[in-house]
Amino acid sequence: MCFGQDIRYFNTFGANNVSLAAASAVLDVIENENLMQNACKTGDYLLAGMNGLKETFTSIGDVRGSGLFLGLEFVGNQDSREPDSLLALKVVNALRNRRVLISASGLHGNVLKIRPPLPFTRENADLLLNALQDALVEIERAE
């Protein structure tokens, strides 16, 4: 009852032949190109790489995720786990300068939300990890 009263919901294109054909074609591509398996394998690889960066950079508080939906948290202090939204913003901008577009999210804006498209490859993950490492080194040197 609250849903209809408190939240406006409108859906025109939910069930027509064109949208159903498009959805079916998308599911075929996901299956035929093994995109679910790619998301698992590439996501695990990316998660491991980000955990490696966590060992090097004390400003990384937590790394978490599943498949290709990942988060990397920045903290000012490892013990108190104080969120560092300013560092996250610096990293977002440094990555943009390296042609990697990403955003900071979370309650304090201190988490990189990583959610690339399903065809994201190991080579793409390496590009992201290298750009992230270079950005963090650059930021540390400037401070």
pLDDT in tens, 36-66: 999 999 999 999 999 999 999 999 999 999 9
Mean pLDDT of 106-123: 96
pLDDT at 1 over 60: no
Instruction: Give the integer Cα–Cα distance in Å for 130 and 114.
Output: 15
pLDDT of res. 15:
72
Could you tell me if 88 and 74 are in contact, meaning their C-beta atoms sit under 8 angstroms apart?
Answer: yes
For 29, 47, 100, 120, 143, the CA distances from 126, given in Å and listed in that order, are 24, 11, 12, 11, 26
Q: Which residue is listed with tokens 């996250």?
A: 88
Residue 106, CA distances (Å) to 56, 73, 85, 112 in order: 23, 9, 9, 8
For position 19, what pLDDT does the model report? Answer: 82
What pLDDT does residue 143 have?
82
Buried b (16+ CB within 10 A) or exposed e, 19-50: eeeeeeeeeeeeeeeebeebbeebbeebbebb
Look at residue 26 in the predicted model and tell me its pLDDT. 95
Pair 47, 65: CB distance under 8 Å = yes
pLDDT over threshold 90, residue 6: no
Cα–Cα distance, 121 to 79 (Å, whole number): 35
Report pLDDT digits (tens) over 12-25.
Answer: 666 788 888 999 99
Task: Quote the pTM value.
Answer: 0.83
Q: What is the architecture of the domain spanning 34-142?
A: Alpha-Beta Complex (3.90)
Give pLDDT tens digits for 58-95. Answer: 999 999 999 999 999 999 987 888 999 999 999 999 99
Is the model's pLDDT at 33 over the cut of 90?
A: yes
